[in-house]
Structure 1
């Protein structure tokens, strides 16, 4: 456990653990032998470098961040002569500072003419947590700043084509770290809907318990209720079939019955299917 969370740093040819985190973890184990590992480094000011990278990321950098979080590597030129003032002047400088400050570790290096290129990866689970947490906070901030009324209007008016288009556009701007599993899309969609005005948003992450993935309800039964069921397709061509599968599940599980019993008569039902950063919605 300690190796997975706090190992992965190199001094010369020696691989070392993060001493600050190990000391804190050992201290917590001294007080409680069942203590679980935590990201002790996550509250330090140096995490601003990760936040700057995420905030300035273009499409290609977002893809590289996704690759790193998934356990893959990236290759970047290394410049040891840059100063702190140069840190965010270019993307390459940011990658360099992430390496120099321990947010990336060296896998191997090679030289092309005068430039050294480094293959790098995230060193351990503690640092991976920092990347993930930074991405989540960035996404939440973007959602708060975004004008999402066109999405909300399309949901309440039944415009499935517009819904799919807006969700796909927003997916292109996000950074995924769940390898496009259903839990990622669930969190993405719930996050997009959390500011939908006067509607109550109920998010259910557990499958197979007789409740829809996401439910929107107007506080008064005179208003609308919306059922959204999410599916993930393995191919772009399979999106429509997954939408239909989601709609069948809504009917078979009788998700609308509870709403009808509450008194709702205007109930919209959507099958929402995702493939990577593409979305399709059917009703």
Structure 2
């Protein structure tokens, strides 16, 4: 079946995918199949990734509750995506964020690209991502003698590749970064240096969580865990609630640090966000458990983020 379809479309059409799901009595999985593996176009046909469809069908045949997986993503090293991420300047980072957020970008077509010329320019990389299925065609236009294509990420499976590559890249970059002065600033209460360093790190990242609080929580926790002087604890019950982050030294004679995070809707609201965070630390008695353990030296930080900017206040 696969070889016959592949000769015509290089993938499964909507009707063919529906028929396969019906055959295995899994028609209720059509929407998941579409979100994860659809989105490619060959001529006038919109098709599904055949490798991923067959693998997911095989999993569903064995278990009706099977979850979709990035099957195609696991068949290669995805080095081309990694190269784009590693080379990304501020413009390319913005384009990647836009794509992961569901947007589209326009690039000139270079159909004569060879493997040796992939890394010659960012445009070559974008074109190669398009020709190899990491991006799909949304629209095209001709300007003078140059064809431009509007491209987007085709489905959740491919988005998973981009997100995973970005996570790995950021982890590697953080491990290489010297954060000694940043941790010294935390210990000494140097809020200006803290917010400058956090803002600088955010500028270097490629974000894909729409700047929600859990994005900043993961970002900051990742930074803090690169040191081995303090134990970093997230969302553990203390006092009358769960502080976002607690850092505490192995010895109760050492320092303990409480960090509460907020996200502002506007740059002008960042200071109010910090004050709200500090008030929350106090009213919910987040230092209670630390004090009961015997810690005397406790620093409390209210940290507010707005996009890739950070403000820090302390008490």
Is this a same-fold pair by TM over 0.5? yes
Q: Counterpart of 1:179 in 2: which secondary structure?
A: coil
Deviating above 3 A after TM superposition, structure 1's stretches of 4 or more consecutive aligned residues are: none
Which residue of 1 is the match for residue 69 of structure 2? Answer: 38
Aligned to 2:109: 78
Does residue 97 of the first structure (1) align with residue 128 of the second (2)?
yes
CA contact (8 A) 2:255 2:297 kept: yes
In 2, the alpha carbon distance for the partners of 1:142 and 1:223 equals: 29
Q: Could you say what secondary structure the match of 2:139 adopts? A: strand
Question: TM (normalized to structure 2)?
Answer: 0.88
**Inter-partner Cα distance in structure 2 for 1:277 and 1:127:** 25
- More RCO (CA 8 Å, sep 6+): 1
1:59 corresponds to 2:90: yes
Report the RMSD for the aligned CA atoms in angstroms.
Answer: 1.4
For residues 35-75 of structure 1, give each alpha carbon's deviation from its aligned partner in whole angstroms, at most 9, with x where no partner exists: 01111122232511111110000000000000000001100
CA gap 1:205/1:178 in 2 versus in 1, 3 angstroms? farther
For the residue of structure 2 that corresponds to 1:237, the secondary structure is: helix
Partner of 1:40, secondary structure, is coil
Which of 274, 277, 281 is matched with 1:243 structurally?
274
> 1:209 Cα shift?
7.7
Work out whether residues 183 and 205 of structure 1, in 8 Å CA contact, stay in contact via their aligned partners in 2: no
Whole-Å Cα distance in 2 between the matches of residues 81 and 238 of structure 1? Answer: 50
Question: Whose helix proportion is higher, 1 or 2?
Answer: 2
Query: Which structure has the greater CA radius of gyration?
Result: 2
Which of 194, 212, 215 is matched with 2:246 structurally?
215
SS at match of 2:200: helix
Aligned residues of 2:129 and 2:135 also touching (Cα < 8 A)? yes
